[in-house]
Structure 1
Amino acid sequence: MSSATDVHPTKPSLSSNDSAVLQALFDAESAPSSAVKIDSALPSLPDISSQELESLRNRERELIRRLQSPNPPRGTVESTIMEFDNLIKEYPQYPSAYMNRAQALRMLFDLDDEDALFIPENADIASRIFSDLGQAVTLATPRSPADPVSPLQARILADAHTHRGYILLKAAKVRQGGSDGGPDRLRGLEKDRLEEMASRDFFLGGRYGNRIAQQLAVQTNPYAKMCGAIVKEAMRKEIEGV
């Protein structure tokens, strides 16, 4: 295992794009964008001492090991989430714990059902996942976009933004089908607005090193999509001799 932020749940049966997004959450080979200043001399996390961090990461690794079998029992997943709850109560400023709890909560769903996150009975868990990802982003983000980040900060931000972008993109697809399920904070938002939010998260996930997020940022960018539509229409007219 490459870092304490790596979790390997059962491989989901999703569309090719959705599978790529979920796979990207656990991509240990991602490299940050050249636009991001990575400074290995910085403290790994600004509010956690190096001694505390070593202890926390050891605790995290032990919890993650419980989830790395192909099909961990639901009871194991639930008890691990409770341990993450305790860890967060002790260290509420530790972003990686929120990131990993969100991934553990995701494992409560039937991963073979790509819309499981958005059925009404899963609304509370979906809201917890979305909230945890937001908290991980808040705690790991530097005060200014120009400020350098540590390698660990970059990894957490890449994972959290990409995972949140995935949820937003799925919410947009579900909204197109007429459903308003999913995290409470997304209720009532229109499909186009959700896609814009997903595009921004994919942009930031890519900026901090997730290659799949970089690609999806382009695909979901409303201006790029508009330009693509214009080009397609111009080509159609040219072919038809209009």
Structure 2
Amino acid sequence: MASEHDQAVLQAIFNPNSPFGNISEQDQNQELTDDDSSFDADSLRQVKNLESGGVSAAEAGDLQKALELFNRAIQILPRRPSAYNNRAQAHRLRGNTAGALEDLDRAISLSGGIGRTACQALVQRGLLRRLASQNDEARDDFQKAAALGNQFARQQLVQLNPYAALCNKMLGEVIGKLRNPDVGQTGP
């Protein structure tokens, strides 16, 4: 049986875009959920229907209708983070980055930084921060999302880490030379 260190090396070799270290099976397969148990069942059902309609409207390109539906959901259950996260996406699609960031901050705060909505909001906020060249803040968001099991966030962390990128490049070159030892050699 391979040691934890050996597994980490194999992970780096076969998945060069992932951060170094052992990513456990449990982490990769973790299914996050949100705790909606504190909300009234009828209100929750109504809010979920509004959110579903908002997502459908956004996918159809009707961002104004999507925003209206997300706003209604927030009015019914203002302490539930999911509608803020969804509304942030609609704001972002309309080019309202400030509104998106405000809603993402609210979703993360309401979720306590745990659960499915927190993970999604952290990734969205990390991407917006990265686009704004706020790499330290983006890295922080991606680290939190990665700790919740998000693979995309892990990939973003590697891209934001110049040392990891350099190590991955060097490791790739070494592996390439091991696979093709005759390539690049000149003379006897």
TM-score scaled by length of structure 1: 0.51
Q: Give the number of the structure whose alpha-carbon radius of gyration is greater.
A: 2
Match of 1:169 in 2: 130
Match of 1:133 among 91, 104, 107: 104
SS of the aligned residue for 1:101 comes to: helix
Give the direction of change, closer, same or farther, for the CA distance of 1:217–1:228 in structure 2 (3 Å limit).
Answer: closer
Is the Cα–Cα contact under 8 Å of residues 47 and 76 in structure 2 kept in the other structure? no
Deviation, structure 1 residue 227: 6.8
Is the Cα–Cα contact under 8 Å of residues 99 and 133 in structure 1 kept in the other structure? yes
Deviations 1:208-236 (A, max 9, x none): 23211111123324xxx35766999xxxx
Aligned length: 146
Deviation, structure 1 residue 90: 2.7
SS of the aligned residue for 2:58 comes to: coil
Deviation, structure 1 residue 161: 0.4
User: Structure 2: how far apart are the matches of 1:56 and 1:82?
Assistant: 12
Give the direction of change, closer, same or farther, for the CA distance of 1:82–1:55 in structure 2 (3 Å limit).
Answer: closer
RMSD after superposition: 3.2
User: Structure 2: how far apart are the matches of 1:197 and 1:67?
Assistant: 28
Give the direction of change, closer, same or farther, for the CA distance of 1:56–1:226 in structure 2 (3 Å limit).
Answer: same
State percent identity of aligned pairs: 25
Match of 1:178 in 2: none
The answer as to 2:159 corresponding to 1:219 is yes
Unaligned runs of 5+ residues in structure 2 are: 1-24, 170-188
Match of 2:118 among 157, 164, 181: 157
Deviation, structure 1 residue 139: 0.8
Give the direction of change, closer, same or farther, for the CA distance of 1:209–1:227 in structure 2 (3 Å limit).
Answer: closer
Give the direction of change, closer, same or farther, for the CA distance of 1:66–1:169 in structure 2 (3 Å limit).
Answer: same
Match of 2:35 in 1: 44
Match of 2:65 among 67, 79, 83: 79
User: Structure 2: how far apart are the matches of 1:218 and 1:86?
Assistant: 39
The answer as to 2:56 corresponding to 1:95 is no
SS of the aligned residue for 1:209 comes to: coil
Is the Cα–Cα contact under 8 Å of residues 140 and 157 in structure 1 kept in the other structure? yes
Match of 1:66 in 2: 57
Deviation, structure 1 residue 136: 0.5
Larger RCO: 1 or 2 (CA < 8 Å, sep 6+): 1
Is the Cα–Cα contact under 8 Å of residues 195 and 220 in structure 1 kept in the other structure? yes
Is the Cα–Cα contact under 8 Å of residues 123 and 141 in structure 2 kept in the other structure? yes
Is the Cα–Cα contact under 8 Å of residues 168 and 197 in structure 1 kept in the other structure? yes
User: Structure 2: how far apart are the matches of 1:77 and 1:134?
Assistant: 21
Is the Cα–Cα contact under 8 Å of residues 146 and 154 in structure 2 kept in the other structure? yes
Match of 2:135 among 192, 195, 217: 195
User: Structure 1: how far apart are the matches of 2:164 and 2:59?
Assistant: 43
Match of 2:144 among 185, 195, 204: 204
User: Structure 1: how far apart are the matches of 2:168 and 2:158?
Assistant: 16
Match of 2:27 in 1: 33
Give the direction of change, closer, same or farther, for the CA distance of 1:218–1:63 in structure 2 (3 Å limit).
Answer: same
Unaligned runs of 5+ residues in structure 1 are: 1-30, 110-124, 143-148, 173-193, 233-242
Give the direction of change, closer, same or farther, for the CA distance of 1:53–1:86 in structure 2 (3 Å limit).
Answer: closer
Give the direction of change, closer, same or farther, for the CA distance of 1:202–1:32 in structure 2 (3 Å limit).
Answer: farther
